[in-house]
Chain A
Amino acid sequence: MSVNYEPVLWNRQKVIYDVVLVGSVVLYLLLFMHFADSIGGSLGVSNLDVRGIRIRAFGSAGFILLHVILSIGPLSRLNRKFLPLLYNRRHMGVTMFTLALWHAHLATGWYHDFGNIEVPLVSLLVSNVSFFTVFRFPFEILGFAALCILMLMAVTSHDFWLANLTAPIWKGLHMLVYAAYALLVGHVVLGALQTNRHLALILVVAVGMVWIVAIHVLSALKEAKQDQAIAIPDQAEFVEVGLVDEIPNNQAKIVCLSGERVAIFKYDGKVSAVSNVCQHQNGPLGEGQIIDGCITCPWHGYQYRPEDGASPPPFIEKIPTFAVKLEGDRIFINPIPNRPGTPVEPAVIA
């Protein structure tokens, strides 16, 4: 959490994260180019297309990293031990965009410079106009569209934009990563896999797609199971949502009321209910814990007091609260949310 906007708030774990990230990317690029060179030598190829090899190295590195990025969310929902990867996922996103940008820069220059259209980008967009075919489709345009999305995401990745665009809009914008992924799969299938129909390469791309779809389906199924909506009787002021014993201490139970997820926390012999949606990146607060007396978001550690849904000073984030009462061991929630930051008396466990 931070009060001021700074480019990066470094801490030890973030440094380790970025060193591993950048180191892995550099390792991949160096290995790819080194082995491409040595394979060419063993084949007796006299002139290697070094620019072409770099184009493939950067492009494949970006595509692989995108698979890692898209895996982190669902894996974290399936197993919380993956959450440390999610913490600085935006660093991966910006790194991935940088790789894609360099791939595009190299490819546009190599294939479109020195032609009879002065601007290489214009050449890229108008050279092949077979839009109504499948195998001759100008796959470069798919890559260009994906790059535009990735650029939009990269430039708005900082918390400054998150706060100013508001989390729902920011989140919606960044969900476009799935559109970018679909475009890039098309880019690879209609481009690289048309030129190089190597079975192993086709299988790798197919396995990547199946993996991404499968873990998203699995995590969605898990979430759907948690999201079993609780019916709200007509005129009911309070709705029964479960038993106190169902909730581990300093943790929460998530229930779905009128389509909105509510996190019911048990802590210090009390029960409080707040919106499940973190104001930062809409993370699932109900999957967090009470740390130092505050609800702590599992995604980036944003904190809120359970009694009023407000972040402790000097932070200013606020989330809606819900009135809660106990009847014996049974928990009742008023399904109408209070304004963010509204104090609500916790229900005391007898």
Chain B
Amino acid sequence: MTTDPNSKPKDEFYIGYAQKIPPGIRNFLLVLVPGLIALVGILGFWLPSVHNQYSPGALDRTQDFQGVLMAQPVPHLAVPRQGNTREGGAYSRYLLSAFNKAAFDPKALKELSGQWVNLKGLPVYRDHYTLLASAGATAADLPANAPMAPPEGKSLGEFDLSGQIEDSKCYLGVMKPGESATHRNCAIRCISGGVPASLVVQNTAGDRMYFALVGRDGQAINNQILPKVGSPVNVKGEVMQYDDLYVLKANPEEFKL
């Protein structure tokens, strides 16, 4: 027998309620804990740079607008452009929605469509594409120097486009990135609530084009495209141009994921 009944264990033993930490374990912790804190610091510094949480989209302050309220093909406000209006049309077309995840005031659209209105709206914009979030509009007198009525859309032909369907408010600047999987549920709620849906098409250089989506008959198709929101999709349809606004008329059953 080679045992020493009175010998102490060789291994240090940590007891959480003991007054002292064994020196070997304490020294180990004095290296481990600062190391973990340093790792926390590195991750806190580095992870924001690899997260996709920035976009060129923006919000502006709420402003007063005057223009022609248009219910078709998508609810929008046609605002006369200043300066050279030969390029891009005589009007800027701003999509419309409510402040929440809902359509622009249906009563105003029904009663004032085609008329001059005053509208207080929050511009949300990305690239050249703008949506005004607004609580409603009131009838306005025809301005003295009012241009001719906004022109009807002209067909640019049939196109085969690949992109992603997003709601035209969050993606443009309310949320960032406001696209793809993490934003899908929000986009579904917005679009089902009546916020205009847009197909965002991007070329290899990163340039984006925006197409407001309607059915072949020009009617809203928001509820029919919900299962395809926020995912890559291919759409064939007729592109209509309304000044600086492009509208894609397509059959929602032919949208391909």
A residues apposed to B, CB below 8 Å: 1, 9, 11-14, 20, 23-24, 27-33, 35-36, 39-40, 43, 45-49, 52-53, 56, 60, 64, 68, 80-85, 87-88, 110-112, 114-117, 123-124, 127-130, 135-136, 138-140, 190-192, 194-196, 198, 200-201, 244-245, 248-251, 266-270, 288-291, 296, 298, 300-301, 329, 349-350
Contacts and interface: CB of A to CB of B under 8 A. Distances in A.
B3 A28 contact: no
Nearest to A20: B33
B117 interface: no
Contacts of A20: 33, 37
Contacts of B190: 115
A116 B102 contact: yes
B3 A139 contact: no
Interface in B171-188: 173-186, 188
Contact of B49 (A24, A30, A39): A39
Contact of A49 (B40, B56, B176): B176
Contacts of B32: 81-82, 85
A81 B3 contact: no
Contacts of A87: 14, 16
A106 to B, nearest CB: 12
Interface in B2-61: 2-19, 21, 24-25, 28-29, 32-33, 36-37, 40-41, 43-45, 47-59
Nearest to B124: A47
Contacts of A35: 44-45, 48-49
A273 to B, nearest CB: 17
A31 B17 contact: no
A296 B48 contact: no
B93 interface: no
A234 to B, nearest CB: 31
A139 B12 CA distance: 46
Contacts of A52: 53, 175-176
- State the 9 A-B residue pairs at the shortest beta-carbon distance, nearest first: A31-B44, A115-B189, A194-B181, A269-B5, A114-B100, A196-B52, A111-B186, A49-B176, A36-B48
26 contacts: A11-B17, A27-B37, A33-B48, A35-B48, A35-B49, A48-B53, A56-B53, A81-B25, A83-B14, A84-B29, A115-B100, A116-B193, A117-B189, A127-B188, A127-B189, A128-B184, A128-B188, A136-B181, A192-B182, A194-B181, A245-B3, A249-B5, A249-B6, A268-B5, A291-B13, A350-B1
A33 B44 CA distance: 8
A128 B192 CA distance: 12
B231 interface: yes
Contacts of B206: none
Given A35-B45, A81-B28, A249-B3, A49 B186 contact: no
Contact of B17 (A1, A123, A127): A1
A52 B179 CA distance: 12
A40 B54 contact: yes
B98 to A, nearest CB: 9
Contact of A68 (B9, B36, B53, B181): B36
Contact of A301 (B6, B15, B25, B56): B15
A140 B185 CA distance: 9
